[in-house]
Structure 1
Amino acid sequence: MLDKVQDTLFSHVKPADTAFRGDGLRDFFLYRDLGVADATRGKVVAQLVIAHNAPEKGTGWHRHEADFHIVFMLRGWAKFMYDDQETLVSAGDCVHQRPGVRHYLFDYSPDMEYLEIVGPANFKTIDVEPVCPVPESKGWGL
């Protein structure tokens, strides 16, 4: 076990150390890297994700090639489809997205902010065929 610990580095990222950026997976979100990918040499990524633009079409149906994926909602809310199950994720909720689960984020509040932790850091996102109809986004949930 100790040999695995020695493969990682200490990391301490303060809010002013990294800015929210728009070059992440989705152009309607902003992402703030928390330094974990570098510290774990790519084993895990941790990032804050915030709403940037009102939802129009959402993420579309997709899955991730990842061994581990959690979303912890810090503020606001988001609505997901996980397979055929509509799921409201609100502030304080934690979701473990099992590997390969087909999902679709289709609506969220303007103040939405979540912590996302995924392993490995360079996980892939793969579009999939629709699982079921998706409720319409209400554009900032209004």
Structure 2
Amino acid sequence: MLQATTTEFSHVKPEDTQYVSGGLRDFFLYRDLGIAEATHGKVIAHLVKANMAPEKGTGWHRHEAEFQIVIMLKGWARFMYEDKETLVQAGDCVHQRPGIRHYLFDYSPDMEYLEIVSPADFKSIDVEPVCDIPEPTPWN
């Protein structure tokens, strides 16, 4: 017998939602995939892509979230996770454990990733710097 569920069926096509500004970072564009609505706020899934060249990056922060993964679809991004520099390239999947202090400081012009986070209304909290940040790669 099938179990009752508290989520809804969702099917979002590329033409259903557009990339928009106004998300967590102004130098990225975000495309909602309808998961927050379908899960009644339990999970958010969105596509994120570069909109402007990196200047200062995200700054040191952590998320108040139970679960977060980033799957790089195109291009690359360089993060600091605590004091470890990490290059995330197309095809890579990163699980960001709850509370990990991190800083996205560099990315390619074609960078695009899928981010899945629970809960949908997760918070981003600024934290004290962990270490120095390398310079971003200039866009030409």
Q: Which bracket does the TM-score occupy, shorter chain normalised?
A: over 0.9
The TM-score, its normalising length taken from structure 2, stands at: 0.97
Aligned to 1:128: 127
Matches within 5 A, 1:109-124: 109-124=108-123
* TM-score (ref. length: structure 1): 0.95
State the shift of 1:139 in Å: 2.7
Moved runs in structure 1, 4+ residues, more than 2 A? none
RMSD: 1.1
CA distance in 2, matches of 1:30, 1:72: 16
Q: Tell me the CA shift for residue 137 of structure 1.
A: 1.1
Counterpart Cα distance in 2 of 1:34 and 1:57: 28
1:77-132 deviation digits (Å, cap 9, x = unpaired): 00000000000000000000000000000000000000000000000000000000
Number of residue-to-residue matches in the alignment:
139
Question: For residue 3 of structure 2, what is the aligned residue in structure 1?
Answer: 2
Q: Supply the distance in 2 between the matched residues of 1:71 and 1:29 (Cα, whole angstroms).
A: 14
Instruction: Look up the match of 2:24.
Output: 25
Alignment partner of 1:2: what SS? coil
Gaps of 5+ in 1: none
Q: Map 1:1-142 onto structure 2 (within 5 A).
A: 2-3=3-4, 6-140=5-139
Deviation at 1:2, TM superposition (A): 2.6
